[in-house]
């Protein structure tokens, strides 16, 4: 009789294990396509405040359009050069609004002297020009340096950070805005 009870218990546990495994696979798949970022700094005010958590969809830069807010790799702020992708460590990231894409007119305040955005490039601007490092200083960004498109906010506004853009060890990363 005790053997029958063991088999009945195993029959109930089996579907739970399978459901848990399926959920783990779905979460792993979502992690490959979604990115959670935390705004650091005031360059995207008033749209986004320091400390807000955003959900972004990983997508190639060629698919973005003007007006969308994106997460992009940042060039070095002094040399305006890009970190090699195979270099150790993650590149610094920025949260910016796409102002123009390839073939569109370059806004007059953008560095670089182009009349139109060159192929494979995008213009990225912070909403708060006085507090933003963006295409005004760095010129057009390579479109392939855009890593994700912001699709929404997560859980409202959190307490403000120090605005330095330094990642905090909270399970998610802080990106300079």
pLDDT at 90: 74
Structure tokens at 69: 């807010």
pLDDT at 86: 55
Q: CA-CA distance, 126 to 177, in Å (whole number)?
A: 7
Q: Does 96 participate in catalysis according to the annotation?
A: yes
Which one from 43, 74, 135, 176 is the annotated catalytic residue? 43
pLDDT at 170: 36
pLDDT at 156: 56
Q: CA-CA distance, 167 to 92, in Å (whole number)?
A: 10
pLDDT at 120: 93
Q: Where does residue 163 rank: exposed (0-12), middle (13-18), buried (19+ CB within 10 A)? A: middle
Residues of the chain predicted below pLDDT 50: 158-175
Architecture in CATH for domain 34-176: Ribbon (2.10)
Q: Does 169 participate in catalysis according to the annotation?
A: no
Distance of CA 75 to the CA centre of its chain: 15
Structure tokens at 176: 């300079």
Other C-beta atoms lying within 10 Å of the C-beta of residue 138 = 19
Q: CA-CA distance, 88 to 102, in Å (whole number)?
A: 30
Q: Tell me the per-residue pLDDT of 81-121, one tens digit each, with 9 for 90 and over.
A: 877 765 566 778 999 999 999 999 999 999 888 899 999 99
Which one from 2, 74, 90, 96 is the annotated catalytic residue? 96
- The structural domains of the chain, with segments of one domain joined by +, span 34-176
Residues contacting 116, CB < 8 A, separation 6+: 103, 104, 105, 106
Which position has the token pair 């560095």? 111
pLDDT at 29: 55
């Amino acid at each position: 009789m005790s053997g029958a009870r063991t088999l009945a218990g195993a029959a109930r546990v089996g579907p739970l294990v399978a459901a848990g495994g399926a959920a783990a696979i779905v979460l792993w798949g979502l992690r490959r396509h979604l990115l959670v970022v935390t705004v650091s700094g005031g360059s995207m005010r008033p749209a986004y405040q320091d400390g807000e958590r955003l959900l972004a969809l990983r997508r190639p830069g060629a698919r973005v359009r003007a007006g969308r807010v994106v997460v992009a790799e940042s060039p070095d702020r002094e040399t305006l050069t890009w970190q090699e992708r195979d270099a150790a460590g993650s590149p610094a990231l920025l949260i910016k609004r796409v102002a123009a894409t390839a073939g569109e007119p370059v806004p007059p305040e953008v560095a670089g002297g182009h009349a139109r955005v060159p192929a494979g490039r995008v213009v990225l601007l912070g909403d708060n020009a006085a507090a933003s490092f963006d295409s005004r200083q760095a010129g057009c960004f390579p479109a392939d340096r855009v890593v994700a498109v912001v699709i929404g906010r997560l859980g409202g506004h959190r307490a403000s950070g120090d605005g330095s853009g330094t990642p905090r060890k909270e399970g998610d990363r802080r990106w300079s805005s």
